[in-house]
Each structure stands twice: as structure tokens, then as C-alpha cells.
Amino acid sequence: MRKLKPFLFFLVFIVVIFTSCSTLKKTTVFQNSKEATEKPYVILISLDGFRWDYVKRFSPPNLSKFIENGTKATSLIPSFPTKTFPNHYTIATGMYPENHGLLGNSFYSHENNSFYSIRDRKKVEDGKYYGGTPIWVLANNSNMVTASYFFVGSEADVKGVRPSYYFPYNGKTPNIDRVNQVVDWLKMPSDKRPHLITMYFSDMDDIGHRYGPNNDEAIKEGLYSLDNTLGELFKKTKELNLPVNIVIVSDHGMLEVKTDKFISIDAIKNDELYSVVSNGTIVNIHPKNPKKLEEVYTYLTSRKGPYKVYKTAETPYFEYVPKNKNWGPFQVIPNDGYYFTYRKKSKMSKEVFVTGQHGFSPEKKEMHGIFYANGPVFKKGYTTASVKNIHIYPLLCKILELTPPKDIDGNIEKLKNILKKQN
């Protein structure tokens, strides 16, 4: 028995360690805790490429009413580069791209020794590229059911967790199907009903790219069709008589760029010396030989064209000094109004076409997006100043009574003035 005692202690020790480790790794929850059932509901809607001035310019009826009875920011300030994936994931995590890791729609990952691209489904769905704690992961880990009808990051197993209900991205899914599914989720019994739901609509980005943001006719037509869909969502959620708060955001705006301002990426390529990763308004340079940095810099600066070469820490437009090594040591930035394209110069038409592009400096007002909110927690008929998109995450945490992780870049102080109850 004496000899058995230390062994039993050891056994108990192992069991305690094992159970505490297994509670660290959370799994997806499908049942709300009792506390979660009593919390409000949040629908976070992203309208890709919705520029800050569209509502003022075209007065879409449903959105205008939504804003009138709720809260808006003058504009939503994106992070650089003002591209879709980095900014959606900044909204989802409250972190700058530098810190959550999605540096662009494409980027090189040293940790994974591979190139990430939004067109590579396997990588889009692979959690190892995604840092931070998306709001649905934070909610899940405090035993709250979540759902997503599309959002950047929602298809990936971030920290081993996905939303309780989600769909792999399919841009062809009719908007009304997304609305009806969200309403069905909200009709589930309260212990199973998601408290955080994300949605995504690409319409304004698609139209903005195709026709440019100054084509009133095209923008208005797309906007009114989207407004109609949103009107259905507002009407159907209201009928449920639940405390639903709706937050509508966009990832960036849009700037008119004529095709004569396109620079073929071929102009700066040198496959022997380095790889290039372009997000149109910033090209990351990754030297193949770390001992030849000087040579790479000399070569790049010797090229002449409508662009400039920077050492990464000195690159303009960032709101911080970029340190993430996945940027690479040098950046090429096009001159004002120019845009890098993967299209070959020989394949580019001589005719000049109007397009819309984004990715430019967040200081350019054309890059600003939207922030509109309506629901029981928000003030009515209230406007707040332009606000950075890093601050949305702590706002959502506050509404859902979740403690934000310590390492986020956003701060609730910047947005809590829009809430009726601020402490």
C-alpha cells in the first residue's frame, strides 16, 4: 500500500493535466449555455466595396430608413492595403493585417513556406494562415452558438473552431437564399439559436470594379437591388420580435482607375533574383537569396516607371511600422492613381477603359467604407465621426458580453458612444 500511494498520486496528476489540456482545445458548440441564451443577437453584414458616399448619393429607401432610426459613422476607415481579405479579417479579429496575418488577398507565408491566395480554396479553408481570434471563435468558446452565411475566415478552422453553421463561399448563391437562411436560423429554438450571425454580399464590389464608382446609373441599379434584399431581411427579422442588433459594414471603397494607369507586373519582375506578390497597390518583394538583398534593391531602384521602391519599414500608407516578415524586405508602390496588374502588357487593349479599383491608402477618402447599425442597443438618429475598422470587434464583444483578447488593436472607447448603455 505504501508503494501504491505515490503511484496513485501520479495517476491523479496525469488525469488532472489531461482534462485541463482537453478543455483548452475547444470544439464547435451547437447548444447555447444558459447565460448565452439570455444575451442579445447580432447580425454582422458586410457589403463588399460599398463606398462611404453611396447612400448620400442615391438614397436607397431601406438602408436610408435603417440609418435614420439607428446609428452611423461618417465613414469606416480600412487598413492598408485596402483589399477584401485583410480588411474583412481585421473586422472579424480587431487586429491590423500585420498582426492577424492576412497581409493581402495574396501573400507569402514563411511559417508555412507557401503562397496564400483567395483563389486557392484549400488555403482559404486552412486555419494555419489565420491568426487572432475571430469573433465567432470567441463567442463559441464562451458557449454561444454562431452562424455564417459567408465571411472571410469563416470556412477555416481557426484555433480548431468554425461557426456552428457555415457555408463554403459560393458567390453565385442568390442573395435572397442567404436572407431566408438567416431568418430560419433565428427561428430555431432558443437553446440552439445562433446569437452571432455573419453575412456577406459582393454586389457593390463587383459593380464598382466593372463600371467604376462614378457610373451613377450602374451603381444606383446595383444598390437598389441590394437594398431590396436588405429590406427583406429587416422586415423578416422584425417580425421575429427578438432583440436583434444589425451592424452593416464594408471592407473598403472604390476609386476610378482608367486602364491606361495599369502597370503590368512584368515591368518589375526578375525571377532569378526574387518573387513578387502583388495586391495591385503594393507589391511584396521576396528575394530568393537572403545574401543578395543589396543586389535586389539596386536592381529594383534602377528600373524606371510610375512606381517607387521602399525598404519595408519605410513604406508609406501603413498606420504602423510594418514588421511582419511575410511582407518581405522591399515593397513597390505605384504612383498616385496607378495600379499593378498581372495582365501582360502585350495582352492589354490599346483602348482606354474605365474600371474601379481599391487597395490604396486608407487616407484616400475614396477608400473609406460604411458603418451603419440599428437595434435595441444602439442610439437612434446618431452620427459618430469616421472610425477605424479595428474598433468594430470590441464593440461586438461589448454587445455580446464577451471579454476581448488582450492582443487586439481595437479599442471599445472609440465606438462606445453609439451605445445607449455605455458601461
Enumerate binding residues for ligand AMP (CB under 6 A).
48, 83-84, 105, 118, 124, 150, 152, 169, 171, 200, 202, 205-206
CB closer to ligand AMP out of 124 and 370? 124
| CA–CA separation, 105 and 100 (whole Å) | 13
- Do the beta carbons of residue 252 and residue 82 sit within 8 Å? yes
- Do the beta carbons of residue 148 and residue 165 sit within 8 Å? yes
Backbone phi, then psi, for 34, in 5-degree steps?
-60, -40
- Do the beta carbons of residue 119 and residue 129 sit within 8 Å? no
CB closer to ligand AMP out of 154 and 245? 154
Q: Which stretch binds Zn ion (CB under 5 A): 60-68, 133-141, 204-212, 238-246?
A: 204-212
User: For residue 216, which amino acid is it?
Assistant: D
| CA–CA separation, 114 and 129 (whole Å) | 10
CB closer to ligand AMP out of 72 and 83? 83
Backbone phi, then psi, for 271, in 5-degree steps?
-60, -25
Partner from Zn ion, ligand AMP, none binding residue 32, C-beta < 5-8 Å depending on class: none
C-alpha cell belonging to residue 263: 502597370
Instruction: State the nearest-atom distance from the C-beta of 231 to ligand AMP, in Å.
Output: 23
72 to 91: interface string for Zn ion, x by CB under 5 A: ------------x-------
Beta-carbon-side half-sphere exposure of residue 406 (alpha carbons within 13 Å): 0
Instruction: State the nearest-atom distance from the C-beta of 208 to Zn ion, in Å.
Output: 7
Counting contacts by CB under 5 A, is residue 106 touching Zn ion? no
Partner from ligand AMP, Zn ion, none binding residue 366, C-beta < 5-8 Å depending on class: none
CB closer to ligand AMP out of 88 and 193? 88
**Which residue in the shown chain puts its C-beta closest to Zn ion?**
84
Partner from ligand AMP, Zn ion, none binding residue 124, C-beta < 5-8 Å depending on class: ligand AMP
Instruction: State the nearest-atom distance from the C-beta of 94 to ligand AMP, in Å.
Output: 19
37 to 76: interface string for Zn ion, x by CB under 5 A: -----------xx---------------------------
Instruction: State the nearest-atom distance from the C-beta of 203 to ligand AMP, in Å.
Output: 9
Partner from ligand AMP, Zn ion, none binding residue 171, C-beta < 5-8 Å depending on class: ligand AMP
Q: Which stretch binds Zn ion (CB under 5 A): 16-24, 136-144, 243-251, 257-265?
A: 243-251
Instruction: State the nearest-atom distance from the C-beta of 181 to ligand AMP, in Å.
Output: 16
Residues 6+ apart with CB under 8 A from 8: none
Instruction: State the nearest-atom distance from the C-beta of 277 to ligand AMP, in Å.
Output: 14
Q: Which of residues 98, 155, 203, 205 is near Zn ion by CB under 5 A?
A: 205
Partner from Zn ion, ligand AMP, none binding residue 202, C-beta < 5-8 Å depending on class: ligand AMP
Q: Which of residues 155, 203, 227, 251 is near Zn ion by CB under 5 A?
A: 251
Instruction: State the nearest-atom distance from the C-beta of 204 to Zn ion, in Å.
Output: 9
> What residues make contact with Zn ion under the rule CB under 5 A?
48-49, 84, 205, 251
